[in-house]
Structure 1
């Protein structure tokens, strides 16, 4: 994950969120999907698709500088890799200062129960936490490196809550959230990935693994051991969310994708072995090996974008609440209306929304994030039945109307987006659907509604009182029960 973003439209006809004026790296959706063969994984995947709304958190020592997570130490000339500040003139000085952030990381306001309460109130059902990003700083008590939050060099290591991954997982799991571990396959701190003998050239391994197999095997062992720690020492884990898609077998590289063309070496870390170990310890575990199509990408993860149409396989849009994945002072947060309408569009196309909030260096969220979650929760309490466990249904969308249906197919929901926070309803609304209608209602309202059949569906008459004051915010949801 990286970068600062704003609303744009991609040439691929998807609604997307770019990164300010910086060049955006698009995480292209894998062109091929391989459904899991394991019945336990199949069952869990179906259950995950019913959850619809999850929380993502990018957090690490970088929050102290308020810079993009990890990417400023990557020696690439991209918009999201720019170095700023007093150490930026020299790459080596910058990296030394960046890694020195370990010695000042002391998030004393860390309280995961506060996050759980806010996320639950907003209607979120699962959490994905960055146990380690590309910079290699481990937010868990790994035995594989001292570059971690629980090392004595880190001030917070003296706190009983120092193993923040365990604290977060336990707190969310206690309130019936699904728990997921984000884990970066590349590790720019590891001497077996960026070997100090050579300078790093880009995001990739800086030596040829085929020429130095012992060093690469050390890195494979290191990666396996860290994931094994997460799969055995942190309770029940539902999702292993792997980032850094350039660490992959070279035979899987797609030369039509620009960032994949930069992968010169085979970076195979033996995913079959890792997945087998992980599922032995966590039966039914969903594995998300991002952008590496095949049996270890159980669902795809379009980043900062929403596919224009429903996809034929499971997917999740991971999108920031603010402009950045990681904490930035004074970040601009999307409005409650924007977020709810984004969720509706995603769910109407059969996807899940994984909404990211970056904790600050003190260990808490920006107050604006709590306000947004409170507003989302108010809407979900009334209208959540149109979101959870729903399925897409044609015509999916018609102007400002978006459609979902219940699993049984006996209920159709038509979600009318408001042009502003307050939804103004017209005198008549045409709903496209098939089937005989038994009852029509507006969620959150006791007002009786009448309708008549027309070509391709029904037309609902909206009483004058409801037109003047529907009480609906962000989106009004019509529930159409079929005979």
Structure 2
């Protein structure tokens, strides 16, 4: 993931900078529905719960820099190095990796996160067990570059295996849980082989020329994922990042960023997924941007598609400006976050919202405030979100539509200047029955309505308008 503040439009695809195109520019026509009945069942369950939490956390939080990417020797805006070692990549990498010796998140309290996320209405959680820098937030036996190493001061803490603690805390709150795992690892010699200094994010040698070295990397990756699938309790989702690590046969030349991949980097996903599902039956595998049987759902990043998509998908978005911790965050208002969720669900997606813990092991307090505000809306209006399917016309003007099969919901997304509902609104859809009951969630009063073309005109009493003032979204219930 990359750190950058993007302006998120609700009705259109974002104008996405090149760096973010990696996970936005994709041909979804190649989606393959899973054949395994347990995977299908879990995918259905995942599609019903709609709202999840993503957390990017690692040693990089101490510098307040973009996660991993300052190590990448590419001349891009998000890889800019800063600080006393910025002028020399080798010195910078050494200083970066030395952050392991000072990472000591003594305020770590995953129960507080899980309780806040649950109160907000979130129902699944993905945690970054390892980002591209290779630092393991779990007790891997394959490397000493990990939070549980004696080199890390937090290793003496009884909760030092933070992945285990986080997954457990969220499972205890009834969440589906997932492990984010980076396919590239910039810390190991079998990926960035020191004989050839890295030029970019890719493997620093041609795996075809050095098959033994690449086999070593394949095994290293397999073994780490096997640890996560074996030693950490029930895992529902294996969420793989670093889409440039892929077989040459899957490179889509119509996608600009994929044309820059120099080598086939096949880590044998069939072997990994087979092992994962043996250990975790029904495991959802999300091999991001690699369309086919190992991408059980698509993951547009920092954007919301401008239309309904019939495949399973999830917008992964930041609550603030950055994927990783920065000292002064610019959190989106709760109103915007609720409207994003409503917009996504009406188009058949889930929303995965990222919050980044800091070097002390805590979130910004403002993140808790946002979750509380979202939760207040979800408590009243959650029935229009959970377990629903999109209803045509899905999104039209300020309206978003969902249904649970028996009841239909029309959500009105106000503009920034609208604090109260208009006295009269026209819905572009109407119930089949002329005597259908119409209410607004959070109230019991039945509203008067009449047919207006293919839709319906609804009168809203002044008292009700004032009672509901200031809501991020108003939901009309028809049934």
Please indicate, yes or no, whether the TM-score normalized by the shorter chain is above 0.5.
yes
Deviation at 1:33, TM superposition (A): 0.3
- C-alpha change, 1:183 and 1:71, in structure 2 (3 Å) is same
CA distance, structure 2, for counterparts of residue 184 and residue 103 of structure 1: 22
Does the aligned pair in 2 maintain the 1:322–1:334 contact within 8 Å?
Answer: yes
Deviates more, 1:185-194 or 1:423-432: 423-432
**2:250–2:290: 8 Å Cα contact kept in structure 1?**
yes
Which position in structure 2 is the counterpart of 1:119? Answer: 117
Structure 1 residue 24: Cα displacement: 4.2
Residue aligned with 2:286, SS: strand
2:215 aligns with 217
Determine if the alignment matches structure 1 residue 411 to structure 2 residue 407.
yes
The correspondence of residues 377-456 of structure 1 with structure 2, limited to 5 A, is 377-406=375-404, 408=405, 410-420=406-416, 423-431=419-427, 432-436=429-433, 437-456=435-454
Which residue, 184, 193, 199 being the options, matches 2:182? 184
Write the mapping of 1:172-211 to structure 2, written as runs, cut at 5 A: 172-211=170-209
TM-score of the two chains, using structure 2 as the length reference: 0.96
Aligned to 1:62, the other structure's residue is in SS state helix
Give the counterpart of 1:77 among 70, 75, 78.
75
Secondary structure of the structure 2 residue equivalent to 1:50: helix
Q: Residues 249-307 of structure 1: CA distance to partner in whole angstroms, max 9, x if unpaired? A: 01111122222112111111111011000000000000000000100000000001111
1:245/1:289 contact within 8 Å kept: yes
Candidates 226, 229, 234, aligned match of 1:228? 226
CA contact under 8 A between 2:8 and 2:304: conserved in structure 1? no
- Rounded to whole Å, the distance in 2 between the matches of 1:258 and 1:82 is 22
Larger strand proportion, structure 1 or 2? Answer: 1
Contact 1:182-1:243 at 8 Å conserved across structures: yes
What residue is the counterpart of 1:302 in the other structure?
A: 300
Alpha-carbon offset, residue 204 of structure 1: 0.4
- 2:268 aligns to what? 270
- Residue 414 of structure 2 aligns to a residue in which SS? strand
- The root-mean-square deviation of aligned C-alpha atoms, in Å, is 1.6
- Corresponding residue of 1:132: 130
Cα pair 2:318 2:353 within 8 Å, conserved: yes
Contact 1:17/1:304 (8 A) holds in 2: no
What's 2:141 paired with?
143
Q: Distance in 2 between matches of 1:283 and 1:241?
A: 16
Alpha-carbon deviation of 1:79?
Answer: 1.0
* Aligned 8 A contact 2:130 2:181 in 1: yes
**Secondary structure in 2 aligned to 1:220?**
helix
Conservation of the 8 A alpha-carbon contact between 2:420 and 2:469: no
List per-residue Cα deviations over 1:102-157 (Å, max 9, x = no partner): 00000000000000110000000000000000000000000000000000000000
SS of residue in 1 equivalent to 2:14: strand
22, 25, 29: which one aligns with 2:26: 29
Alpha-carbon distance between aligned partners in 2 of 1:268 and 1:393, rounded to the nearest angstrom: 40
TM-score normalised over the length of structure 1:
0.96
CA shift, 1:16, in A, is 2.7
- Runs (4+) of structure 1 moved beyond 3 Å? 22-26, 420-423
Q: Which runs of 5+ in 1 are unaligned?
A: none
CA distance in 1, matches of 2:183, 2:328: 31
Residues 368-383 of structure 1 mapped to structure 2, 5 A cutoff:
368-383=366-381
**Consecutive unaligned residues in structure 2, runs of 5 or more:** none
Residue 107 of structure 2: aligned partner: 109
> 1:50, 1:390 within 8 Å by CA — same for their partners in 2?
yes
Q: Secondary structure at the match of 1:359?
A: coil
The number of aligned residues is 475
8 Å contact from structure 1 (residues 337, 421) kept in 2 = no
Question: Residue by residue, what CA displacement relative to the aligned partner does 1:307-354 show, whole Å, maximum 9, x if unpaired?
Answer: 111112100000000000000110100000010000010001010000
Q: 1:434 to 1:469 in 2, by over 3 A?
A: closer
